[in-house]
């Protein structure tokens, strides 16, 4: 898998969700949440990310720290099930998110309640396996 140095211009265009691990905490949110997004921008400016997942329903950008430098991998793209005219098996999954310090919506409730993921299934001989998984979107509590 090819890697290159991270640049903020590599992030998805428009609104996107993110899960990032900083040196001192976890950020979970969306560009539509001004406070958390500003925290993300400040952390990027200060070079405080250990790793990050940035996703917008079309692709996921994954970045991690390698030998002290933030590197980005090739984007993960899992479509709706058809690519270049050939059918693919895509399994949507949904994970419940717990209330935590990084996911606090007040009143002892989580701000985000679900994380949606898409898994691309492939086959080796007659054995199915998950070729790749793409973070798809965060769902807010009450949505």
76, with CB counted inside 10 A (0-12, 13-18, 19+), is: middle
Domain ranges of the chain: 3-73, 82-140
What pTM does this model have? 0.90
Query: What was the pLDDT predicted at 80?
Result: 63
pLDDT tier at 81 (50, 70, 90 boundaries)? Answer: low
The pLDDT assigned to 79 comes to 75
Distance CA(54)–CA(91), nearest Å, equals: 20
- For 92-131, the pLDDT digits (tens) are 999 999 999 999 988 889 999 999 999 999 999 989 999 9
Q: What is the pLDDT of residue 142?
A: 73
Pair 138, 115: CB distance under 8 Å: yes
Q: What is the pLDDT of residue 107?
A: 86
- Considering only CA atoms, give the Rg of the chain: 16
């Amino acid at each position: 898998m090819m890697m290159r140095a991270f640049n903020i211009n590599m992030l998805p265009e428009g609104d996107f969700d993110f899960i990032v691990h900083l040196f001192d905490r976890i950020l979970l949110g969306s560009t539509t949440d001004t406070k958390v997004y500003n925290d993300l921008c400040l952390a990027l400016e200060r070079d405080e990310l250990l790793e990050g997942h940035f996703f917008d329903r079309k692709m996921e950008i994954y970045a991690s720290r390698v030998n002290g430098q933030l590197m980005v991998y090739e984007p993960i793209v899992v479509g709706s099930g058809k690519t270049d005219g050939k059918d693919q098996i895509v399994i949507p999954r949904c994970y419940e998110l717990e209330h935590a310090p990084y996911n606090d919506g007040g009143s002892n409730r989580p701000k985000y309640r679900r994380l949606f993921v898409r898994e691309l299934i492939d086959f080796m001989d007659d054995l199915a396996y998950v070729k790749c998984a793409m973070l798809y979107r965060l769902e807010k509590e009450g949505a």
